[in-house]
Amino acid sequence: MKYDKEYFRKHFFSLDRYRVSADMHSDSDGEENEATVKIIVPAENAKGKIEERFIAENQPKGEKFIALSASANGDGTVDALDRALRKLLEPIYPFLKSVRLIRYAVSNTSNSGTGAQVEVFILASNGDGKLYYSAVSSASVIEASFFALANIYNRYFSDERENASKKSTGKK
């Protein structure tokens, strides 16, 4: 399946916004990293599966989409982003619990010093050992990391939907 932003917005999730912070205090042992993520999911997917505390806004009855928000700490900003996103997605889509990130790499794709474009590469696998990868370029390592994570989850989601569809029609 080719990447279709509208498909994932309607069926899986879309990003509303994220915020990431890294705090270092002179008297602490290390950096504190936190991310807050706000996503939009189809209301029918989330109904009865997500805790009330994650609902970001009151939704009128019959609304097709629902806004969810969560914060998480992590071992680095990208880990914090991943944990916040998983807090929201895993209760709705439990199959994502089997996705494990294997490799994360950042490389400079231009010679512009600190204003350079970077490419984030993520390799992940599911419980069956199938590999998923994503490479995203941006001037922001955080932005590229978030969308590389989202791409991994989107690909896994589309595989799960396809597999469920084959099972329901008896195809292999």
Alpha carbon distance 68, 52 (integer Å): 9
Range 104-113 average pLDDT: 84
The pLDDT of residue 39: 93
CA 37 to chain CA centroid, Å, is 9
Alpha carbon distance 110, 116 (integer Å): 6
The pLDDT of residue 59: 67
Number of domains in the chain: 1
Among the listed residues 127, 169, 160, 167, the one whose alpha carbon sits nearest the alpha carbon of residue 11: 160
The domain that contains 29 carries what CATH number? 3.30.160.270
The domain containing residue 34 runs over which residues?
Answer: 5-169
Give the tokens for residue 167. Answer: 């099972």
Query: Is 46 buried (19+), middle (13-18) or exposed (0-12) by CB count in 10 A?
Result: buried
Q: State what percent of residues in the chain have pLDDT above 70.
A: 92
Per-residue pLDDT tens for 36-93? Answer: 999 999 888 888 898 888 888 766 677 788 899 999 999 999 999 999 999 999 999 9
